[in-house]
Amino acid sequence: MSALTALARVSAVSSGVAQPIATVRHVHLSSRPLVFVPLALAGEANAPLAALVGSSPDAPQLLFVPQPRNRDQRFEFAAKLAAILLSYVDSFCGETETVPAGRNTEPRERYVDAPQILVPNGGGVGFVRLFGRSTRFRRTEGEYAVDASVPLLGRWLTFFAERSEYPGSSLLVSMTGALSMHWATGQSAVEDANLAALVGWIDPPSGMSGAEAALEAEDPLTWPPAGPATDPTFDNEVLAPAIEAGSLSMLESALRSQLMPTWELMWRGVSLLRGLPPGARVEQRWTADRDAFTGFASYVAEGGYPQAKRDVAVAAAQRLARLERAQALYDAQRAYDDPLLLAEYRLSGEAFAGTVIASSPDRIDDSGKRRVLRPHVTVRSEDPVLLGPGASVVSPARPSQTGSFVSVSGPDVVLELSGGMGRGLTTPPGSVPEVGERLTYTTLTESYQAPAAFPSREETPWTHGGPPVEYVPDDEDAAEDWS
Amino acid sequence: MTNLECLRGAAAPKSHNARTIAALTTNPGCSRRAVMDAAGIDKERLASHVGFPARFGQSQFAITRGNVFEAQLKANGCAELLRLLREVLALPIGAAAYDDLESVNQLDARADRSRELLTRAADGDEDAGTLFDHPLLRLEVGGRWVYLEPDLIALQFGGKFYVVEIKSFAVIDGKADGTKVSAAATQSAVYVLAMRRLLAEAGYDPGLVSHDVVLVCPENFSNRPVATLVDVRKKLSVLERQLARMGRIDAIVDGLSPSLTFDLQVDDAGVPQRPVAELVDGMGQIDARYSPECLANCELAFFCRHEARGSTAALGKSVREELGGVSSVSHALSLASGAVPPAEDEIEAAEMLRFAAKLRSECLS
């Protein structure tokens, strides 16, 4: 929570409708996302109860487990879900593009598009993770055999769930997360976890304020919870008698009635998000998602093992380091794409906006061995300048150019520029800010950060348990009870 | 009649349990809840009568699952539980005497019997048993005795007592839902405290009760139980501080109007007749400290949320902090627009708010 978002929240209270906290969309939205609304049986460890799934708003497919405690029926549910999800995933494993060779990499193929799963909330992401965990180790022969698609489903769900922890990834997205990244409501973050209330604030029905719509959305009779947890009253008064009666039609209509309102909210959410123009760097992050997808698809095709239950020490440390770098990059990219997010850094003093009042584009620094182009610009800041000499800043308008603080006097900041001006001793037009140009400079950087060095798996130090045993799934994993 | 009895009126007092005591620690600054609980007022009924019913339903599937899991652990004289405790606490094989204290009917008799057995065990009397099923403990909360019923207390070889808490949420690959674990730990801490006080009163060392509790949950997706030791020292200190505060509830009650009561004036058919406006007015006399977290913990939350509309705290603690501690939404907006001059202690906050408002309007225009 930043002060700008807090201010947006109080403005939402007074205006009665959610306020924007982003000017562009920061998530990628597929042209045909797979919307997945799962329900789990209360009290059990992620026992599937029902789900609506599909990639077209008018064709949701309802899957449900008639006797949720029956193990075989759960695996039938998993197999049906696998049929839908795997064929959706497969439909992206067609056209590829060639990624040219890099400094240390061979040229490779990459799928031109990737699947995207949308779930209602954080609980939906948790469902995907746990359902992946409970299916990926299953065996397809011998005792407890399941359909061949079930362990494959588990691997893919696990991939999606793990990727969703990666900052900026859009392969598996929670709708409440995506919406509350772009709008601030007049309620608390706790209440924003209710999809119906959140959408009510952002897009209230005509004649109603967002606050009223959100209040109405809290009634589980009109707006059943978006899952995976069900409404306890529904469980006791509708679901339990229907299961008891063993009536499939009763169950089907009961579960459909619980899921349909959320299904519609999901597509309303999709169109709300589509209404925002995408940020300039969204495509770049989606490319990273397509890379991850391509890599995992070939790993699966080559018969790779299911993902281990726990990371070994080195892999865990590497993953954490990757996530931290991704987070820093993601924060910087969003701020570069979106002046409203950059404004948060202006508020905290990590950025300032101003107008160029003097510029010496052809200034040469000849103090070193080689004469180099080091233009000076003077920016009259409209924000308080908390940075001082020694600080180095970048403007999103010219991301490859760095400015270092030379001096600050009052609101006037003198910067020495380097980079982004070609190799010569004269500056190409437009590469150096001209007098009168309005700019924002920030300490945020999206430049490449070299990954930290980690020991190899075989050299895991004794402090971290020494080299780990190679993980091989065994029969015990496959035989794990599910009751 | 004491002040607290006046506040409650004719209804029978609602008694605390480990869960409600644990809830006291989540929002210790709320006088309204503290007074209501100390007086034993049925908050659920009060909230629904004033038109803001709580939504704390429990699914029968969850209840069944919890009961089945506990029954399975305790079947055959706690055979399965013993196996687990032997692993995690190194209980000696032979030591498996088991007392089912749930079978004793009357409350005080059960509490007495529990005390007798537990103190005998503390004496080192081997016949006193090692597993005490549903003993009844008493804890003084706000001047009243509250009966508490832990799932089980185990005595380890060497004379240490361990509180055992059985929960039916799953531990998957060694990880469980953090909120649930934390709630279970707080609840167990209540039992540890009650047990320690029982021993202290009987002249024993309260340190005989371990600050580690044994949490027993189903493992992965199965019904197979797994036991984990959870350190509740931090929870214990929070709890003790909060209970000590409860003792000072009188100070709050003394400041209230002597005629104040939350009696619902239930008629012969059991229907509350008390005019809602009177109750709402009465509740308004005791300060509440609403925060969005109350929604998950307190029966009065929806009422308090409604009342707190227009306050920045209702949007979450962090919102209020980010706004420089300004407590009302309209005041924050007036400071941001410069419509009102800031008070002396608001100058910094106002400056920040004006800057934030300028940035927002610049970026959104």
Average pLDDT over residues A99-126: 92
Average pLDDT over residues B85-92: 78
Q: What residue ranges in A245-391 does DSSP mark as E strands?
A: 351-360, 364-365, 372-373, 376-381
Question: What is the reported pLDDT for A12?
Answer: 95
> Would an 8 Å CB–CB cutoff place B304 in contact with chain A?
no
pTM to 2 decimals?
0.91
CA angle A422, A332, A326 (to 5 degrees): 110
Average pLDDT, chain B: 84
pLDDT over 90 (residue A259): yes
Average pLDDT over residues B233-257: 82
> Would an 8 Å CB–CB cutoff place B226 in contact with chain A?
no
* Residue owning tokens 């009060």: B46
d(CA B82, CA A351): 62
pLDDT over 50 (residue B216): yes
Average pLDDT, chain A: 90
pLDDT over 80 (residue A472): no
From chain A, the residues in CB contact with B309 under 8 A are: 13
Q: In chain B, whose CA is at the least distance from the CA of A134?
A: B221
d(CA A323, CA A326): 5
CB burial of residue A388 (10 Å; 0-12, 13-18, 19+): exposed
* Residue owning tokens 């040469």: A364
State the smallest CA–CA distance between residue B102 and chain A in angstroms.
25
Quickly state the pLDDT bin for B93 (edges 50, 70, 90). Answer: low
Quickly state the pLDDT bin for A483 (edges 50, 70, 90). Answer: very low
Average pLDDT over residues B146-160: 78
Quickly state the pLDDT bin for A337 (edges 50, 70, 90). Answer: very high
CATH architecture classification, A352-442: Beta Barrel (2.40)
Candidate from A128-137, A237-246, B30-39 with smallest mean pLDDT: B30-39
Question: What is the reported pLDDT for B21?
Answer: 81
Average pLDDT over residues B329-335: 93
A145 vs A392, more confident: A392
Asked if ipTM goes beyond 0.85, one says yes
Question: What is the reported pLDDT for A365?
Answer: 85
Quickly state the pLDDT bin for B155 (edges 50, 70, 90). Answer: confident
State the smallest CA–CA distance between residue A123 and chain B in angstroms.
12
State the smallest CA–CA distance between residue B147 and chain A in angstroms.
27
Which residues on adjacent β-strands are paired with residue A403? A393, A417
Are residues A272 and A178 in contact, defined by beta-carbon separation less than 8 angstroms? Answer: no
d(CA A457, CA B10): 70
Average pLDDT over residues A172-201: 95
Return the domain boundaries, chain A.
Answer: 3-99+108-310, 352-442
CB spacing of B172 vs A130 below 8 angstroms: yes
Interface test with B, best of A2, A13, A194, A334 (most B CBs within 10 A): A13
CATH 3.90.320 domain span(s) along chain B: 60-243
> Would an 8 Å CB–CB cutoff place B318 in contact with chain A?
yes
pLDDT over 50 (residue A329): yes
* Residue owning tokens 């649930």: B180
pLDDT over 50 (residue B217): yes
Quickly state the pLDDT bin for A473 (edges 50, 70, 90). Answer: low
pLDDT over 60 (residue B122): yes
CB spacing of A310 vs B360 below 8 angstroms: no
Question: What is the reported pLDDT for B99?
Answer: 64
**A378, A440, B164 from A339: Cα distances, Å:** 21, 9, 55
**A44, A77, A121, A300, B257 from A131: Cα distances, Å:** 12, 11, 16, 18, 57
Q: Which of A6, A7, A232 shows the shortest C-beta gap to B59?
A: A232
CB spacing of A133 vs B357 below 8 angstroms: no
> Would an 8 Å CB–CB cutoff place B179 in contact with chain A?
no
Question: What is the reported pLDDT for A449?
Answer: 74
Q: In chain A, whose CA is at the least distance from the CA of B168?
A: A43
> Would an 8 Å CB–CB cutoff place B6 in contact with chain A?
no
Class level of CATH domain B60-243: alpha beta
Question: What is the reported pLDDT for B2?
Answer: 63
Quickly state the pLDDT bin for B148 (edges 50, 70, 90). Answer: confident
A313 vs A177, more confident: A177
> Would an 8 Å CB–CB cutoff place B178 in contact with chain A?
no
* pLDDT tens profile B252-262: 888 888 888 88
Q: In chain B, whose CA is at the least distance from the CA of A190?
A: B292
| Closest-CA residue to A202 (of A220, A175, A228) | A175
CB spacing of A187 vs B218 below 8 angstroms: no
Q: Which of B57, B309, B359 shows the shortest C-beta gap to A346?
A: B359
Give me the residues of A, 171-200, that contact B with CB < 8 A: 186-191
CB spacing of B360 vs A4 below 8 angstroms: yes
d(CA A142, CA A163): 32
Quickly state the pLDDT bin for B336 (edges 50, 70, 90). Answer: very high
Question: What is the reported pLDDT for B202?
Answer: 84
Quickly state the pLDDT bin for A119 (edges 50, 70, 90). Answer: very high
Candidate from A252-266, B94-108, B264-278 with smallest mean pLDDT: B94-108
Longest dimension (CA), chain B: 81
Q: Which of A7, A340, A480 shows the shortest C-beta gap to B357?
A: A7
CB spacing of B323 vs A10 below 8 angstroms: yes
> Would an 8 Å CB–CB cutoff place B365 in contact with chain A?
no
Candidate from A178-182, A221-225, B259-263 with smallest mean pLDDT: B259-263
Q: Which of B65, B293, B318 shows the shortest C-beta gap to A44?
A: B65
Question: What is the reported pLDDT for A93?
Answer: 93
d(CA A374, CA B223): 70
Question: What is the reported pLDDT for A479?
Answer: 57
CB spacing of A43 vs B316 below 8 angstroms: no
CB spacing of A482 vs B221 below 8 angstroms: yes
pLDDT over 50 (residue B84): yes
Question: What is the reported pLDDT for B97?
Answer: 58
Average pLDDT over residues A53-61: 95
Average pLDDT over residues B302-321: 92
* DSSP helix/strand/coil, A39: strand
Give me the residues of A, 128-157, that contact B with CB < 8 A: 130, 133-134
Average pLDDT over residues B319-326: 91
Residue A312 CA from chain centroid, whole number: 25
Q: Which of A9, A45, A481 shows the shortest C-beta gap to B319?
A: A9
CB spacing of B295 vs A191 below 8 angstroms: yes
Which H helix or E strand runs over B133?
strand B131-133
Residue B158 gets which letter from DSSP?
A: T
Average pLDDT over residues B118-137: 75
Q: In chain B, whose CA is at the least distance from the CA of A12?
A: B329
DSSP states of A404-461:
EEEEEETTEEEEEEESSS-SSSSPPTTSSPPTT-EEEEES---S--PPPP---GGG--
Average pLDDT over residues A126-142: 90
pLDDT over 80 (residue A122): yes
pLDDT over 80 (residue A257): yes
Count of CB atoms within 10 A of residue B55's CB?
14
CB spacing of B323 vs A2 below 8 angstroms: no
Report the share of chain B in percent with pLDDT over 70: 92
> Would an 8 Å CB–CB cutoff place B176 in contact with chain A?
no
pLDDT over 80 (residue B215): yes
Q: What residue ranges in B142-286 does DSSP mark as E strands?
A: 144-148, 152-155, 161-166, 212-218, 225-231
Tokens (6 digits) for B44: 């659920």
Are residues A338 and A279 in contact, defined by beta-carbon separation less than 8 angstroms? Answer: yes
Q: Which of B59, B221, B355 shows the shortest C-beta gap to A235?
A: B59
Q: Give the number of A-B residue pairs with CB atoms closer than 8 Å.
A: 147
> Would an 8 Å CB–CB cutoff place A287 in contact with chain B?
no
Question: What is the reported pLDDT for B94?
Answer: 52
Candidate from A139-153, B51-65, B100-114, B331-345 with smallest mean pLDDT: B100-114
Q: In chain A, whose CA is at the least distance from the CA of B313?
A: A188
